[in-house]
Amino acid sequence: MTTRRLIGSTLLTAVLASGCAAATEHDTVSPAAPPAAPTVTGKAFRSTEVVDSGKPKQLAGKQPIRITFRGDKIAVQAGCNGMGGQVTTTGGKLVAKDLAGTLIACDPPLMAQDTWVRSFLTASPAWKLDGQTLVLTTASARITLTEDTAAKPVTSLTDTNWTATSLVAGATAGSLPAGTSADLTFGPGSTVSGHTGCNAFTGTATLTGNSVKFSKLTITRKGCAGAKADLEKQVVAALDGKTVTWSAGDGTLTLTTPDGQGLQFSKK
């Protein structure tokens, strides 16, 4: 009797163990995929705090530092001039290369701030994104920024109407002549159209990285005088047959020729 009970108990234990093993094999749950790494691509940020040498740094002017990321491009508004170039964010380092900027002459404090921001960014600061807060840190300084969800980074120039706001000439920039306006629109298929301030124009605009080549401009022949004629000369001189550098961010666009001439626009 005792032997039968032992055998029956042993068989029951074996059956249960086999069943559990089978259940374990079929009920195995695959591990959850790791969360996606944070990224700054396609986002715009504005500064909320700047620290230099352990002390708060007061920004010149009333505007924060603004940084926009578009793919492998970075656009920066430091206070006076806009600048842009290539950027990588691998390995926890923000590496900005070939930062080119506009050449507007501003008050000395704003010019100094431009220089400071450029030096900071080209020092390959460490970066950390926590939610909507981006912190950039070098050995001696730190910039804390928050994502500007209201600002839409310019990921493409096409299908956007741009209204001219300033004329760039070397190291200075000035407003458009009173009572005048100019604009341009980059359309599909490398087309461009706009208004010089006097006449309408169409043509070709070939985008390559941070440069755009304007060609085959066809301009209407309406006669203008005074300020409108002056503006047209400057617009045509900056665009017709030229390959210019462009930088954009926060709804602004700057086109700069190799000799420092150019135009600044705002998104219409």
Summarize the confidence of residues 34-59 as an average pLDDT: 88
Quickly state the pLDDT bin for 237 (edges 50, 70, 90).
confident
Summarize the confidence of residues 82-104 as an average pLDDT: 84
Quote the CA–CA distance of 65 and 81 in Å, as a whole number.
11
pLDDT digits (tens, 9 = 90+) for 178-204: 889 999 998 888 899 999 999 999 999
* Residue 79 in tokens: 């206070």
41 neighbors 127 (Cβ within 8 angstroms): no
Single-letter amino acid code for the residue at 88: T
pLDDT digits (tens, 9 = 90+) for 153-168: 555 677 778 999 888 7
Cβ contacts of residue 162 below 8 Å, gap of 6+?
183, 184, 185, 253, 265, 266, 267, 268
Q: Sort residue 116 into left (φ over 0), alpha (ψ -120 to 50) or beta.
A: alpha
Quickly state the pLDDT bin for 255 (edges 50, 70, 90).
confident
pLDDT digits (tens, 9 = 90+) for 206-215: 888 778 899 9
Domains, the chain, in order of start with CATH, read 44-147 (2.40.128.270), 160-267 (2.40.128.270)
Q: Provide the percentage of residues in the chain whose pLDDT is more than 90.
A: 36
- Give how far Cα 194 sits from Cα of 94, 149, 225, 257, Å: 37, 30, 19, 18
Read off the DSSP letter of residue 145: E
